[in-house]
Amino acid sequence: MKELRCMVVDDEPLAVKMLENFISKTSFLFLEASFTDPVAALEAIRAQRPQLVFLDIQMPDLNGMELSRMIPEGTRVVFTTAFKDYAFDSYEVSALDFLLKPIRYQKFLEAAEKARQWFSLVEGAEAAEAAAGASGQQDSIFVKSEGQLRKVAFTDIKYVEGMKDYVLLHLCSEKRPLVTHITMKAVEELLPAGAFMRVHRSYIVALDKIDSVSGTNDISIGDTFIHVSDAYRAAFEEYLSQRMLR
């Protein structure tokens, strides 16, 4: 894909300079603007709609968490902060990654690559939808794995497993899962909600691949057992109740 248009928002000028330097060394990133004022940054993000924002969290007037909830839907965020306590909150606002200061270039590059893969997946999904014709029925996604983009039909996916910074797609057609460097939240947004459901922080299941559900809400898909965690139990039980013979 082409360069990712990005912005930097951090109230510390030295942090801005460091990120600008990192971006200049990364061939697939293009810096549109940098800001130390989060209010001015929000106006620019809304007007220019960059694809990616490297965003500090603790800032005056408007912190990074607040700002991230106000930006256009197509703009994704990589948080940059000195406070690791915000890591969990970052996933609630669909951040692509969370970089803890002081940031090393290697970690920055990994986050940038994750963003590039995310937008590659989005481009692939849009291409697949366009190819589907007037019906608009999208039936697949493109997954970057082992250096290539693989087209994966939704019907081939049994379940998705999250493992740190990677996602494993377990398929009906292959014994080995496809491994890709992306977040569970990103994959969840690309999968059709009517066919897939998040049942655990680390698992998304294809609903039509479920063989059985135990009394303790353990899902069986072939030889695999996946526990429905408390955070997702209500939604899963509602799904079951709508399809249960009484």
* Mean confidence (pLDDT) of the chain: 87
The span from the CA of 146 to the CA of 169, in Å, is: 13
With vertex at residue 193, the alpha carbon angle to CA 190 and CA 196, rounded to the nearest 5 degrees, is 90
Percent of residues, the chain, with pLDDT higher than 90: 59
Question: CATH topology of 4-103 equal to that of 133-241?
Answer: no
Domain covering 133-241 assigned CATH 3.40.50.720 in the classification: no
How many angstroms separate the CA atoms of 79 and 101, rounded? 10
- Alpha carbon 121 to chain centroid, angstroms: 10
Architecture label for domain 4-103: 3-Layer(aba) Sandwich (3.40)
Domain range annotation of the chain: 4-103, 133-241
Cα–Cα distance, 49 to 9 (Å, whole number): 14
Residue 193 is given by DSSP the state: T
Q: How deeply is 106 buried, as exposed, middle or buried, from its count of CB atoms within 10 A (0-12, 13-18, 19+)?
A: exposed
* pLDDT tens for each residue of 29-81: 999 999 999 999 999 999 999 999 999 999 999 999 899 989 988 899 999 98
**What are the two backbone dihedrals, phi and then psi, of residue 89, each rounded to the nearest 5 degrees?**
-60, -30
- According to DSSP, residue 171 is labeled E
| pLDDT digits 0-9 by tens, 148-200 | 788 899 999 999 999 877 899 999 999 999 998 888 888 888 898 889 999 99
Place of tokens 């066919």: 195
Dist CA 52 CA 30 (whole Å):
10
